[in-house]
Amino acid sequence: MIDIFDIMGPIMVGPSSSHTAGAVRIGRMARTLLREEPVKADIHLHGSFAGTGVGHGTDKALVAGLLGMAPDNLDIPNSFEIARERGLDFTFDEVDLREVHPNSVLMDLTGDRGGRLSIRASSTGGGRIRVDELDGVEVSFTGDYNTLIIQNMDKQGNLSEVTTALSLAQVNVANMSLHRSSKGGNVMMIIETDDPVPDAIVQLIENRPGILQVIHYRKED
Amino acid sequence: MNLNSMQEIVSLARREGKKFWEVVLETDMENREVSRYESMEKMAQTWHAMLEASQVYTGERRSASGLVGGQGKLMYDYAAAGKCIGGEFMGQVIGEALAMGESNACMRRIVAAPTAGACGVMPAVLIPLYWRENIPEEKMVEAMYVASGIGAVIAYRACISGAAGGCQAEIGSASAMAAGALVYLKGGNKDVMCHAVAMALKNLLGLACDPVAGLVEVPCVKRNVIGAVNAIAAADMALAGIESRIPVDEVIDAMGEVGRRLPVELRETALGGLAATPTGRAVKKRLHGNRGKKKRTLTIKDARWKLEKPAEEASEAPVEGETVPAT
Ligand code: SF4
């Protein structure tokens, strides 16, 4: 079903919903997933993001998102200067990621507390985005739902513990998927929910043995 | 209610004694599970964002490529001097369309309607009328629902992106949405509105999407003008009692069909039409000349890379065949 506010909207800083608004959302998603103030970002542009990215302000938009700006923030064109003031050091280059969406970017991020994240994401049109890879594990989620990203040691029973915790909190699961890195080892669980997951439940899940990390992305309007 | 057919929305509205915009509003409430107040609040914000974008325009900014900027201001001044062939009102409409398209290209805040490239059409017809006729806010918000409903039907039956259906799907759809909104504001009934939508879309059938260098600048900014002027013409024709011989849903289907048959060179790939003219190619070379030569790592201080490259240095690298979609 078409959302009429995708027709009359979004309210955004131009010029392109895919190359500008979508890029801001990717940067913002990356910041949320890093869970720290980013201090270093190596940004690798692929395909059309590399080809027409500068003319569309894709570079500024990605940095703006990393700084926490939303797609309608009028400071997006000034994001490079603001990054400098806030101590975010960034580099850009062009890469060929082969069989990925033409509007893709790969970012290697470091946060102010030393956390690191490698994220590959694509802008799929009309300002919508998709996260395609996290720390080398192929995933797929869009941020259209509240999303739990759970990293765990491939341990039996973790999945049912998580779903039990969610049903206790009466949180409706919309989609769920399991992803394994090609090298084997840890597993990434992506759980999309209709309602946000209460912090206490996120904590509870994170404290279970075998669970390494839980990130909660809250859906934005 | 699914917003799948203009005819169905109109029949349902008739059966239940509702206005077209109310059906669209109620569909949104159902779809996003929000209250009437929440939906209308969001639509009012969207309308205000259009108004604000218009009011903060100064004409001083230039786009990243330098191709766009200041055209809206030139038009406003010309219209204010009383020189406009189409009268002052038409001058304002043209100026508003240019100003919004330009604001988008210059990274200002706009409302994509239905896309960022076509963001000037709706405000260009709504804002000058709003000021001239002192139309109440609620009425403007209702007209926004009318336009959204029309856009949703077009998106369902055909498409609203240049990549999928050419510029007829962006500027053409925006023009159809604007024509419907105008008829509503002028008190035309639902049939009149359908004829206006059909005529507006028909008049732009087949329009190619051919942005120079893949940027939403040339011809996009000026195409907003034809979208707006065409919307006014279609609304006036319909209000005068002129009917579209082809029913509106069939016209929308035809637009989708024409879009599918458009060669890929004319669907946002910047490989045909104006983008492929000698001048269009030269602009592309100037902007993207060093692309593909070698992958460079950049730091903050030279992050403005390609744009500041002098033209001669960049021009040695031939760039062919790279597609550059942008919405
Ligand atoms: S030419 Fe293409 S990019 Fe420009 S407004 Fe038309 S559809 Fe959009």
Instruction: Kindly list the domain boundaries of chain A, sorted by start residue.
Output: 4-135, 146-217
d(CA A63, CA A43): 9
**Is 70 exceeded by the pLDDT of residue A193?**
yes
Measuring CA to CA, how many Å separate B99 from each of A47, A69, A166, B141, B301?
31, 25, 50, 22, 32
CA distances from B33 to B36, B145, B214 (A): 10, 17, 38
| pLDDT at position B318 | 38
pLDDT value of residue B312: 38
pLDDT of A187 above 90? no
**Tell me, what's the pLDDT at A52?**
81
Tokens for B96?
A: 């508003």
* B96 closest CA partner among B66, B55, B136: B55
Q: Of B201, B228, B197, B223, which is closest to residue B212 (Cα–Cα)?
A: B223
pLDDT mean across residues, chain A: 92
Q: Which residue of B has its CA nearest to A17?
A: B327
> How many CB pairs below 8 A link A and B?
183
Position A64 scores a pLDDT of 98
Q: Whose CA is nearest to atom 2 of ligand 1?
A: B209
Which pLDDT score, from 0 to 100, does residue A109 have?
A: 97
- For A103-132, how does the pLDDT look when each residue is reduced to its tens digit (9 = 90+)? 999 999 999 999 999 999 999 988 999 999
* CATH pick for A146-217 out of 3.30.70.260, 3.10.290.20, 2.170.120.30, 1.10.3720.10: 3.30.70.260
Residue in the block written with tokens 């039996």: A156
pLDDT of residue A43 exceeding 90, the answer is yes
How much is the pLDDT for B144? Answer: 98
Position A220 scores a pLDDT of 79
CATH of region B6-266, choose from 1.10.4100, 3.30.70, 3.10.20, 3.90.1070: 1.10.4100
pLDDT tens figures, A126-158: 899 999 999 989 999 999 999 999 988 876 778
> What homologous superfamily does CATH list for A4-135?
D-3-phosphoglycerate dehydrogenase; domain 3 (3.30.1330.90)
**Chain B environment of A91 (Cβ under 8 Å):** 297-300
The answer to whether the Cβ–Cβ distance between B111 and A76 falls below 8 Å is no
Query: In chain B, where are the structural domains located?
Result: 6-266, 294-327
Angle between helices B220-239 and B173-185 (to 10 degrees): 40
pLDDT reported for residue A125: 85
Q: What would you report as the CA-atom Rg of chain A, rounded to the nearest whole angstrom?
A: 17
| Contact between B171 and B227 (Cβ < 8 Å) | yes
Q: CA torsion, points A151, A94, B61, B122, in degrees to nearest 10?
A: -60
Report which of residues B287 and A36 the model is more confident about. Answer: A36
What is the average pLDDT across A161-169?
A: 91
Which residue does chain B place closest to A21, by CA atoms? Answer: B116
pLDDT tier, A98 (very low <50, low <70, confident <90, very high otherwise): confident
Find the mean pLDDT for residues A171-187: 84
Q: pLDDT exceeding 70 applies to what percent of chain A?
A: 97
- Check CB contact under 8 Å for A54 and B45: no
Is the CA virtual torsion B287, B290, B296, B302 positive or negative? negative
Residue A67 has pLDDT above 70, yes or no: yes
**Per-residue pLDDT, A1:** 76
Residues of chain B with pLDDT under 70: 289-327
How is residue A196 annotated by DSSP? Answer: P
